[in-house]
């Protein structure tokens, strides 16, 4: 075999490995078009939202953090809101749902999702990027409606590969969490996350942030 042919085969092998090698995916939280994280929204902002009263807002804040939108929904219905009133509130504030684990009940609480998305969201799991979401969900409802749905969902951010942009997409994360998430790599356990991030923000906020991340 000639030297030239040997080199050509070597280059081809490297290119093949590059194509076949898995690309690290960070995950992300859907871009908000006005919907805020109900676990973070200030009292003054909550009071301006549909069907909120001082008593309901006070109770909502006292019970934070909510681990799911179904938990928040149970509180609001228990506080006297109808299903329609709660849904009107969710067009302003929400507890994001994980695209890869969301239950039927969680999906049905996403404004505009309906029963169709209880089929489509699980069908394309595992979700890895929002480009994938745009492609698959956009086939059914178009890009504008897809963008509206995205603001209620997230694909967990991989603590060990996430970019700055991925981390900053997490509501309330900010520049400090970009620094801290990257400083303690490689992440190996939730206990490590609780210990290191808990030094800066406390257990409640650590638990809230943990919802949006994964260790792969």
Domain boundaries, the chain: 156-216
Instruction: Dump pLDDT digits (tens) for 27-63.
Output: 899 999 999 999 999 999 999 999 999 999 999 999 9
* For residue 17, pLDDT beyond 80: no
* For residue 21, pLDDT beyond 60: no
Instruction: Dump pLDDT digits (tens) for 177-205.
Output: 999 999 999 999 999 999 999 999 999 99
Q: Which of 26-30, 88-92, 139-143, 145-149 has the lowest mean pLDDT?
A: 26-30
Taking alpha carbons only, the member of 113, 109, 39 closest to residue 81 is 109
- In this structure, the dihedral spanned by the alpha carbons of residues 207, 211, 212 and 213, taken in order and rounded to 10 degrees, is 80
In this prediction, residue 27 carries a pLDDT of 85
Mean pLDDT of the chain: 91
Instruction: Dump pLDDT digits (tens) for 78-129.
Output: 999 999 999 999 999 999 999 999 999 999 999 999 999 999 999 999 999 9
Q: Which of 1-15, 67-81, 139-153 has the lowest mean pLDDT?
A: 1-15
Mean pLDDT over 149-158 rounds to 98
Query: pLDDT exceeding 90 applies to what percent of the chain?
Result: 88
The residue with tokens 């603001």 is 151
Taking alpha carbons only, the member of 109, 48, 99, 100 closest to residue 74 is 109
* For residue 8, pLDDT beyond 50: no
In this prediction, residue 14 carries a pLDDT of 39
pTM score: 0.87
């Amino acid at each position: 075999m000639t030297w030239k042919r040997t080199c050509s085969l070597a280059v081809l092998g490297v290119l093949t490995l590059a194509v076949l090698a898995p690309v690290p995916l960070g995950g992300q939280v859907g871009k908000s078009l006005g919907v805020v994280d109900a676990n973070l929204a200030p009292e003054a902002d909550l009071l301006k939202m549909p069907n909120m009263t001082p008593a309901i807002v006070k109770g909502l804040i006292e019970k934070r953090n909510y681990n799911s939108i179904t938990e928040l929904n149970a509180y609001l219905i228990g506080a006297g809101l109808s299903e329609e009133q709660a849904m009107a509130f969710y067009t302003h504030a929400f507890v994001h749902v994980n695209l890869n684990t969301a239950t039927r009940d969680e999906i049905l609480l996403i404004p505009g999702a309906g029963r169709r998305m209880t089929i489509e969201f699980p069908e394309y799991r595992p979700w890895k990027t929002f480009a994938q979401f745009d492609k698959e969900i956009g086939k059914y409802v178009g890009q504008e409606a897809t963008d509206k749905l995205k603001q209620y969902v997230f694909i967990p951010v991989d603590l060990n590969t996430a970019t700055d942009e991925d981390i900053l997409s997490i509501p309330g994360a900010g520049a400090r969490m970009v620094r801290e998430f990257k400083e303690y790599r490689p992440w190996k356990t939730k206990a490590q996350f609780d210990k290191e991030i808990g030094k800066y923000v406390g257990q409640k906020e650590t638990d809230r942030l943990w919802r949006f991340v994964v260790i792969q």
